[in-house]
Structure 1
Amino acid sequence: MNTTLTTVQQLQTIARLWPDLEDALAAPTQHSWPPVELRGYLQAMEQLDAEEQEARRHRAAALRALERSPDQLGARPVPISLTVHDTMRAVEAALVDTADQIARAVQRAPMQPPAPARAAVARTRAERLAWADRARWIEQARQDAADLRRWRETGGGRTAVRAALWLSGRAAGSSGPFRPLSDVEQQQVARVAAGALGRVEAALDLADARRVLASTHPCACGGTIEVYGGAGTQPVARCLGCWAMWTEAGVIAA
């Protein structure tokens, strides 16, 4: 991930990349890290850790939930990329939850309309002015409550894209029925934005990634193996001892 991006830019990038995630959801060849082309080789050398095993159990459960029983009539669902599916769910949940928390802290409550008054006929100029002021007050309260800049904890619009753009507005200090974010709130939004963008970029294979395998799974020469790739580059495994290198096509240097 490009760490030079500001929080606002990170959130806007998430919104811009979301349609790409939706397109990738149905792509059976979507990569994850380590790159799928090298995974068979890597798994022969390294056992999956507890976190990966837990992730696999969740993905298998999600797949079972999406599949229909073979004895049912009708078309089966289109296969999806579980890596992208998990990423979209996790990122959307993080962004929406953060928007809920920030809105509770910084968003001003809607204006309250005046209490209902008993019907009366305005006979004097002062009475007519009072009724006109009341009507304006009611209209201002209605508009304030319906302000599209407000974040809402119920109803529609609680999506990853909407949350990312709303949070980017708060991080940028845009005007509206809000107070400015405190330093702590700015840091909270920055952490969520950076983490969410990192996951989106990894799911789309847009980010540079690098991983050193455990010492219990060395190269044949005894050296440590490093895997790197992403950002459109060909994934490569490299021994830091003998400098042998592998790609999906096999050994490229020894």
Structure 2
Amino acid sequence: MTTSQQLRTIATTWTDLQDALGAPAQLGAFGLGLRGYLARLDQYDAEEAAALRALERDPSQIGERPVPIRLRVFDTMRSIQAGLAELADQIAAEVQREPVSFAPRDWPAAERARRNALARADLADPRRWRFRGNRPPAPYTALWLLARVEHRPGPCRRLNEAQQERIGHVARGAVTRIEAVLDVADRCKELSDENTCACGGRIEVYGGAGATPVARCQGCGALWTEQGIIAA
């Protein structure tokens, strides 16, 4: 998937993330079936993991509580939106030209009027990234970055190779998070040593993209789903 395709994916799947905010909670822990195993495959950085741990416990409660899927979706959306906005700030600071200046007062009236009209239009250009005020939603930011990647017309210079790569890195990470939280990508993972088959073989779990999760022992070949062993 190219950077352009990834940025379009972010823009077009954002409504799916919004819909998923109200989705029923899913449990994600060992001992709760293969979907629990798959839930543990998602990788979070230390800051995100700490935030999720804080959300999953009410100070007035004793014991642990599973994190509702809507909190995971919210955290994903917040992280992606913040990352895209920070990236757009950086790129705009490097490639976006300053607005046309307003005319000095000592210019002839007609020239001053033309120059000021040009300056106002340039300042209000919707293709210009705004550093101040409320940040636009993630789809807008993704499309603004897309315009830069594809060298669309606007008040910006062309990106260099390093800037292209930086945008590609952030876009790939965002799409990976979206696919994981919406379960729209094929996934495969070998479980850790403490989660082995009765024969001692290592277990591989695969699923995602709407498919029923399945586990397979690499030793004896046993195959099972959440409903139990289907082949041995």
Q: TM-score, length-normalised on structure 2?
A: 0.85
Specify the code of the residue in structure 1 equivalent to 2:150.
A
Structure with larger RCO (C-alpha < 8 A, sep 6+): 1
The change in CA–CA distance for 1:111 and 1:172 in structure 2 (over 3 A counts) is same
2:127 is aligned with 1:149: yes
Q: Which of residues 23, 31, 39 is equivalent to 1:27? A: 23
Match of 1:137 in 2: 115
Per-residue deviation, 1:58 = 1.8
Q: Which of residues 195, 204, 223 is equivalent to 1:226? A: 204
SS at match of 1:175: coil
List aligned pairs for 1:177-216, cutoff 5 A: 177-216=155-194
Match of 2:137 in 1: 159
The change in CA–CA distance for 1:55 and 1:251 in structure 2 (over 3 A counts) is farther
Per-residue deviation, 1:39 = 4.9
SS at match of 1:234: strand
Structure 1 vs Structure 2 CA RMSD: 3.0
List aligned pairs for 1:1-254, cutoff 5 A: 5-29=1-25, 37-39=33-35, 42=37, 57-62=50-55, 81-117=70-106, 130-254=108-232
Q: In the aligned structure 2, how far is the partner of 1:80 from the partner of 1:219?
A: 29
The higher radius of gyration belongs to 1
The change in CA–CA distance for 1:229 and 1:104 in structure 2 (over 3 A counts) is same
SS at match of 1:81: helix
Mark the runs of 5 or more structure 2 residues left unpaired by the alignment. Answer: 62-67
Are 1:114 and 1:134, in contact at CA under 8 Å, matched by a contact in 2?
A: yes
Q: TM-score, length-normalised on structure 1?
A: 0.78
Per-residue deviation, 1:243 = 1.2
Mark the runs of 5 or more structure 1 residues left unpaired by the alignment. Answer: 71-78, 118-126
Identical-pair percentage: 49
